[in-house]
Amino acid sequence: MATQHSRSIARLMIAPATILLLGWMLVPLTMTLYFSFKKYLPLRGGDLGWVGFDNYIRFISSSSFWPAVGTTLIIVGGVLAITVLLGIALALLLDQPLWGQGAVRILVIAPFFVMPTVSGLVWKNMFMDPVNGFFAHLWRAFGAEPIQWLSHASLPSLIAILSWQWLPFATLILLTAIQSLDTEQLEAAEMDGAKPVRRFWHIILPHLARAITVVVLIQTIFLLSIFAEIFVTTAGAFGTKTLTYLIFQRVLESQNVGLGSAGGVYAIILANIVAIFLMRIVGKNLDK
């Protein structure tokens, strides 16, 4: 059906999108690579020459690097564990016959549409503030001393905020996956006397495996680069400095561009490792 003529038109139609994305990818990437091999301090002397791999070594050997890696892993791991486990439970619950299913679903997915700065500030002030926050009032009502959430329990607090934001995403995708499950298979298992727990482990969970993988990979990519939630709550203090936040501080706050760029290259490599797995799953689906 496709003639030579229609093929060249097709190529012409793809060109704008391809060229734009190619530019968007190559230009900044080349610049980041270029800066990463330079001692470059825009506010203190500018370009101070080539330094080889110096920035890469200094970024890793700085005292804030490993704590930032740890913080990143704890946040990503914590949010993933909570959202996937609660997401499965919620998806199973919402799949049951119940009154007002549509309305409940609307309530559950709402947090996903709240902009990150609003969600960070609302949790920080209206809920986690140790004097006027909702939790402080609640704690006092039970005669307990209010907790300084964001300074004394900073990581769990951040994980809670982020989980609130991402639970809807996990739930919605897992629910979509559960609803595509073949009912007959479940009914057959039920008739054979398989208990709910067994039905879950042997039929539902295997069916969900793919959706869970997709949730984990996509959330990992987004969570590795969370920024606004930290920016408005702790600004990186109290051990909440992630790799992304550390690079942001190096580049824009202390204007050490060479060092920050080397960090950026590490972040790009890290994200690509996750991306490879995600792309493989998406690619498989494309062949169908």
Q: Restricting to residues 20-49, which ones interact with another protein according to CB under 8 A? A: 20-21, 24-25, 27-29, 31-32, 35
List the beta bridge partners of residue 47. Answer: 40
Show contacts with another protein in window 175-214 (CB under 8 A): 176-183, 186-187, 210-211, 214
Instruction: Give residue for tokens 């590490």.
Output: 266
Position among 57, 60, 117, 195 found at the interface with another protein (CB under 8 A) = 117
Instruction: Give residue for tokens 């498989």.
Output: 284
Binding mask 56-85 for another protein (x = CB under 8 A): ------------------------------
> Minimum Å distance from CB 261 to another protein?
6
Instruction: Give residue for tokens 């400095």.
Output: 241
Position among 65, 200, 231, 238 found at the interface with another protein (CB under 8 A) = 231
Region of 44-52, 67-75, 145-153, 173-181 interacting with another protein (CB under 8 A): 173-181
250: which residues sit within 8 A by CB, 6+ positions away? Answer: 59, 256, 259, 260, 263
240: which residues sit within 8 A by CB, 6+ positions away? Answer: 71, 154, 155, 158, 230, 233, 234
Show contacts with another protein in window 244-263 (CB under 8 A): 244, 247-248, 251-252, 257, 260-261
> Minimum Å distance from CB 256 to another protein?
10
- The rounded distance, in Å, linking the Cα atoms of 108 and 95 is 13
Position among 79, 80, 82, 90 found at the interface with another protein (CB under 8 A) = 90
Q: Enter the tokens of residue 267.
A: 């972040």
**Among 284, 277, 267, CA closest to 32:** 267
Residue 224 as a binder of another protein (CB under 8 A): the answer is yes
Position among 9, 85, 205, 237 found at the interface with another protein (CB under 8 A) = 9
231: which residues sit within 8 A by CB, 6+ positions away? Answer: 117, 120, 245
Judged by beta carbon, residue 158 or residue 177, the one nearer another protein is: 177
> Minimum Å distance from CB 152 to another protein?
19
Please, are residues 48 and 259 in contact by the beta-carbon 8 Å criterion? Answer: no
> Minimum Å distance from CB 15 to another protein?
8
